[in-house]
Structure 1
Amino acid sequence: MTFPSPSWRRRLLALALLAGLAAPALAQRANILFILVDDMDVELPQHMPKLRRLLAQPGASFENNFVSLSLCCPSRATTLRGQFSHHTGIFTGHWPDGGFLKFHRDGLESSTVATWLQGAGYRTALIGKYLNGYPNVEDGGRSYVPPGWSYWFSPNAGTPYNQYSYRINFNGRTLSYGKAPEHHLNDVLQAQANAFLRDAAKTPAQPFFLVLTPYLPHGPATPPPRYAEALPWVKAPRTPSFNEADISDKPRWMRNRTLLTAADMADIDAFYRKRRQSTLALDDMVESLVRTLRATGALDNTYIFFSSDNGFHQGQHRLKEGKGWAFEEDIRVPLVVRGPGIPAGRKVRQLTANVDFAPTFAQIAGVAPPEFVDGRSLVPLFAGPAPARWRQALLLQSPTSLEVVPEAGNPGSEAGVLEPAEDREAAAANPVWKNHLYHGLRTASNYSFALYENGDGEFYDLETDPYQLANRYKSMPPALKQALTRQLRTLRGSAGQALRNAEEVAVGRRP
């Protein structure tokens, strides 16, 4: 009996995936490399030529990709489980509303995309940031490795956000790193990922699932020394919404914001420069990993995903810096994918989100995800005509409390490993938190709609107002307001297949 050549096996795999067939029946299943960066809005990848050349040009760019809750830990929980935050129960980065401690104690680690793929025979690896608040001395301690991971390399002490002076849990053994230039965390994670890829190539019959989660460009966004003096001329983009002139139409939590001062804008520019410098290092990371995959012969059989856990604003709507709101800067994130069967230069315009990653990885691996999953596989968007039915509205959710010094709210956690305090200065200025709690929709018809617990609302027609300058909630057509409100309530009350069905109802369709 003769067996298909590797190239034909790859073609068969791609056809099977696109047809929705079970991949394990094939001779060779695809590898998955998922690069999930931290706090990257969609503007920054425009300055990553290696990402464009190596992933976007030979693969697919998802042009309407979002996160449902724009905050690190809730987003990562959604990515691991394929559930919206009102089903994971993770709304912040710290106890009792979120963080590693809640995710762990609620038993959510028992069923994640890692456990599904490991159970299907994949060699699974996480290299980099896990969930905010990991580890916890009361729940496994520094040597704890969550279920589903065959290979673990994640900071467990020190100050990894600063890129120096941290410790790493390497498969249950702690390694220490100091302040030497070669200890810059991003470069250490890159080297470890390449080592994993080279080791995985020794057993090509076993596919791998590698989740690489660098801390950059999250603040303080310390770049490697080679880029510390780069880009001296750059400044944050002055979009039409930057230091917005009139915010009297905005929700109450925003109306007390004063115009940004010259000092504020200088701070924004300085931080933006560091984020851009950090982006150069992330571009190097993409190039290095692709080079290793090519050298080991695994590139043609590997899906590579590049995305971010949330977006980031810097000066838009008078908000100095941060995330967590329903504005496009916060919820829209990059997504590019290359891999078997994906045609070069493909543009995907359907509404996609972080809730879709887990079911996508499951389908690539030939695994049926649990019924609790809310998201949908992106595989049908990889090639061929668009599906007849797809999401028409994405549920948006807000954090449930301020991210203020979360170290103080997570018992047993290691200081410095948790998310640093966010500068959500607008919320801090008005402590009535119900003014900031919202649920909303981002629709395929380019509407942005949000309802606040205090009765405020937001509505933007993004086709005519892409920078969300004019809140038309009070003057929007009553029938459209009622329809969007009903859709929002339906999505909040649904789960699994029922939620996906409800998403496909086209509400507020344009004439």
Structure 2
Amino acid sequence: MAKSLGRGLRLGLGIALTWAGSTFAAQPPNIVFILADDLDAAAASKMEQVKALITDPGASFQKHYVNVSLCCPSRVSTLRGQFAHNTTIYGNNAPNGGFEGTYNKGIESSTVVTWLQDAGYRTAMVGKYLNGYPNTAPSDTYIPPGWTEWYSPNGGSPYSQFDYQLNENGTSVSYGHADADYLTDVISDKAVDFIRRSVTDHPTQPFFAYVATYAPHLPATPAPRHADALPGLQAPRTNSFNEADVSDKPAWVRDAPLLTDGQVALIDEQYRKRRQSLLAVDELVKRVIDTLTELGQLENTYVFFTSDNGYHQGQHRLESGKMTAYEEDLLIPLSVRGPGVKPTATITALTANVDYAPTFVEIASAMQPDWVDGRSLVPLFKGSTVGPWRQALMISHGEVDKGTARALRYAGLLEPDDPFDKSAQATIIPMFKGLRTADDFTYVAYLNGEYELYENTKDLRQLRNRYEGASERQRAKMASWLEAIDGTGGAALRAAEERPPKGH
């Protein structure tokens, strides 16, 4: 009651008030959510502006994971605060994935965006939405519920960064191949313009900007000004790169031959291009921070930087791609700065992309449905006392969809295949469910009856599968804990995450 009343007074009077010992700002905080595409935590750590402008003056999350390492399932989890087994979105194409599957299931009717809009926020989608949008929607300029403004590609080849169309608030606008048409820069322009107009034209109304780049997703086209940057850069040669001995791995990895010199050269080329394409994303981050500073809004705005999933490049003999249960694919960056965030804070609690929605809800004093699976990160990044927290996080890989666009004009909006993704679509990688635990174990149960178990503190690169040597008690604990989490949602799921089943 007090929380809702306090927010109403803020909006109604537009002045600072004290309620139950707390001082409220004159306006609820703004939220800027910057989401990169296929950005692993290791590559993100090289982004200088993100580090200087968000990570250093804010908090960074060291154990932040996705439930499914694939674009559309992750993005739907971001919007709904639910794991894939509750959204039922497992892939990038229909029937159980992509924009088409999401639209057909009616999932867009209730998302964090509709909840924020109901709480009085202006909202903007700028950049990549869901794979295949707007395929099968009522029109090419369809705008989902909850969005005050909308700037998202609806045609052409946005993954290439040029020659695409944007749905700009219901009007399709074509962009060509000029330097000024480079998509990351256009997304930057639109985001900054929305922020500026929100502050100047709607001074009493908070805003939420969802800013989603296509970089560094392949083909990872760098901005023309960065085409010669980072000469000679190679993918990191960790001890898991082109792993010599994979005899402990499941059959789908054991069957993979060592990478050839040509495959390694391609990985190096792609790694450099990905890093080059991130230079423009770094510049986008700086423009957003500079604009908020200029408008006097930086101290009343939360800025988040993260990715939809991780990415592997050569680890365990695998070509560039995602979808696996390995750390490179599941661990993603997350940094946040804003009111009350402790500078240079390092957070080691186990967190996930399902936590964004309840975090934004708490920031906005909004309301959310009981079926939300995630939990608010606000107590963590504000250094508050945190009650029982997640001790195990469910990870999964659903059936890879093999659907195609229903109309040729949508082909460029579908996910371009990475080399590894093509292998995955050939069913080389089996479906799996598993756990990532707070005490640093990764447990994977494949549908075909194979298993993996890694003790990540001692085996950072996951070189030794410990499942065969694990005790029956440990195996049973992991299996029963996974079953308990997988079979539920909402408060019951959160309770299951906090402790293993009795008897273990």
TM (norm. structure 2) is: 0.93
Distance 2:398 2:336 in 1: 29
Name the aligned partner's letter for residue 153 of structure 1. Y
- The one of 473, 495, 498 equivalent to 1:479 is 473
The match for 2:3 is none
Q: Deviations over 1:88-120 (max 9, x none)?
A: 111000011201011111110000011000111
Distance 2:503 2:283 in 1: 42
**Residue 204 of structure 1, CA deviation:** 2.1
**Residue 508 of structure 1, CA deviation:** 12
SS at match of 2:419: coil
Q: Does 1:445 align with 2:439?
A: yes
**Residue 47 of structure 1, CA deviation:** 1.4
- The one of 485, 495, 503 equivalent to 1:501 is 495
The match for 1:197 is 195
What aligned pairs does 1:338-353 form with structure 2 within 5 A after superposition? Answer: 338-353=337-352
Distance 2:230 2:17 in 1: 43
**Residue 46 of structure 1, CA deviation:** 1.9
Percent identical among aligned pairs is 48
Q: Does 1:376 align with 2:375?
A: yes
Say whether the 8 Å CA contact 2:96–2:102 is kept in structure 1: no
**Residue 421 of structure 1, CA deviation:** 2.2
- The one of 405, 415, 419 equivalent to 1:419 is 415
Q: Deviations over 1:363-392 (max 9, x none)?
A: 111012101100001111022355131000
**Residue 472 of structure 1, CA deviation:** 1.1
The match for 1:270 is 269
Closer, same or farther in 2 for the Cα pair 1:84/1:16, shift >3 Å?
farther
Distance 1:186 1:108 in 2: 28
Distance 2:405 2:351 in 1: 33
**Residue 254 of structure 1, CA deviation:** 1.3
Name the aligned partner's letter for residue 438 of structure 1. F
Give me the CA root mean square deviation.
2.3
Name the aligned partner's letter for residue 265 of structure 1. V
Q: Does 1:207 align with 2:199?
A: no
The match for 1:259 is 258
Distance 2:503 2:310 in 1: 27
Name the aligned partner's letter for residue 474 of structure 2. L
**Residue 10 of structure 1, CA deviation:** 8.2
The match for 2:430 is 436
Say whether the 8 Å CA contact 1:257–1:426 is kept in structure 2: no
Distance 1:191 1:264 in 2: 37
**Residue 150 of structure 1, CA deviation:** 0.3
Gaps of 5+ in 2: 1-8
What aligned pairs does 1:314-333 form with structure 2 within 5 A after superposition? Answer: 314-333=313-332
Q: Deviations over 1:403-431 (max 9, x none)?
A: x5x5x2556871101111232268459x4
- The one of 164, 170, 183 equivalent to 1:185 is 183
SS at match of 2:411: coil
Name the aligned partner's letter for residue 452 of structure 1. Y
Range with greater deviation from structure 2 (302-311 or 201-210): 201-210
Closer, same or farther in 2 for the Cα pair 1:229/1:452, shift >3 Å?
same
The match for 1:460 is 454
What aligned pairs does 1:281-320 form with structure 2 within 5 A after superposition? Answer: 281-320=280-319
The match for 2:144 is 146
Distance 1:428 1:348 in 2: 33
Say whether the 8 Å CA contact 1:73–1:132 is kept in structure 2: yes
Name the aligned partner's letter for residue 236 of structure 2. P
Name the aligned partner's letter for residue 113 of structure 1. V
What aligned pairs does 1:59-74 form with structure 2 within 5 A after superposition? Answer: 59-74=58-73
Distance 1:411 1:351 in 2: 42
**Residue 507 of structure 1, CA deviation:** 7.6
Q: Deviations over 1:305-336 (max 9, x none)?
A: 00000000000000011000100000000000
SS at match of 2:75: helix
The match for 1:233 is 232
Q: After the TM superposition, which segments of 4 or more aligned residues of structure 1 sit over 6 Å from their partners? A: 8-13, 507-510
- Counting matched residue pairs gives 491
Distance 1:12 1:250 in 2: 59
Say whether the 8 Å CA contact 1:162–1:221 is kept in structure 2: yes
Distance 1:427 1:165 in 2: 28
